[in-house]
Amino acid sequence: MDKWIFIIDVEACEDCNNCFLSCKDEYIDNDFPPYSIAQPKHGQRWMNIERKERGQCPMVDVAFLPTPCMHCDNAPCIKKAKNGAVYKSNNGIVIIDPDKARGQKDIVDACPYGAIWWNENKQVAQKCTMCVHLLNDGWKKPRCVQSCPTGALRFVSGEDSAIAQIIKDEKLEPLHPEYNAKPRVYYKNLYRFNRCFIGGTVAVQKKGVTDCVEGAMVTLYKDSEKVYEAITDNYGDFKFDNLEENSGKYRLEISARSYDKKTIEVDLIASINVGTIML
């Protein structure tokens, strides 16, 4: 049977919140038994958008991370729930039965992603259902995907082998694989959120005037190994991204025609703008 996965492109998300609002529009004041009861008007974010700023002015990068329920294949919430109150459907969607789950607040705490919410009034745990009621009616995508203007959210179905090939071809990765929950939400360009960069600007002084150096070769080394190479743009800027935080000492070597080579040492803790490097 075909199974569904979410694909979220961090680079394409602009924090417009259309996904969040369309989810609210679908579920506030609406019950869809046996999959869900109405979402409260306030306090729950079935599609939560996390935000992260990297670097320092003027080289700053801001990324947004939509985080729905991960619909895990090894879901901790299923293991924690009693009486089959949380289950996985044949198409891969994790459902909280709103009747069986009443009073089971432990279901909320079981989720390592923080994607399950407690409805105090109804005394039940709630979360994203991937709009399973709409999919069962023939819809090809949930409301959040339908409303995304940038294509940051995609909904894909297929057999396990086809899904595995998509993950491989697009170099998709799960959020927090160390949880071992085997989520069915996969991210593209996740490095924009969970890794870091080294960037800077190359310039020279000519007759007392500072000028950008376009076309300078900047090489990044880790110990004696060459990691990346970059050419400065017309503003003299360069940037090496997708580096691991707290990964220690790096060396930048900058060379440009008619100028002496320059070397800069960087201790990488988090994303850093090394500033202007004068040749």
CATH number among 3.40.50.150, 2.60.40.10, 3.30.830.10, 1.10.3720.10, domain 195-278: 2.60.40.10
* pLDDT value of position 224: 87
Q: Given pLDDT bands bounded at 50, 70 and 90, which one contains residue 258?
A: confident
Span(s) in the chain for CATH 2.60.40.10: 195-278
Q: pTM of the entire structure?
A: 0.90
Query: Which positions ≥6 away from 21 have C-beta within 8 Å?
Result: 147
* pLDDT value of position 115: 97
CATH number of the domain located at residue range(s) 3-193 in this protein: 3.30.70.20
pLDDT tens-place string over residues 126-164: 999 999 999 999 999 999 999 999 999 999 999 989 999
d(CA 97, CA 99): 6
d(CA 53, CA 48): 17
Give the mean pLDDT of 180-194. 96
d(CA 202, CA 235): 8
* pLDDT value of position 210: 87
254: tokens are: 């900058």
* pLDDT value of position 265: 95
d(CA 35, CA 42): 20
Q: What percent of the chain has pLDDT over 90?
A: 92
Span(s) in the chain for CATH 3.30.70.20: 3-193
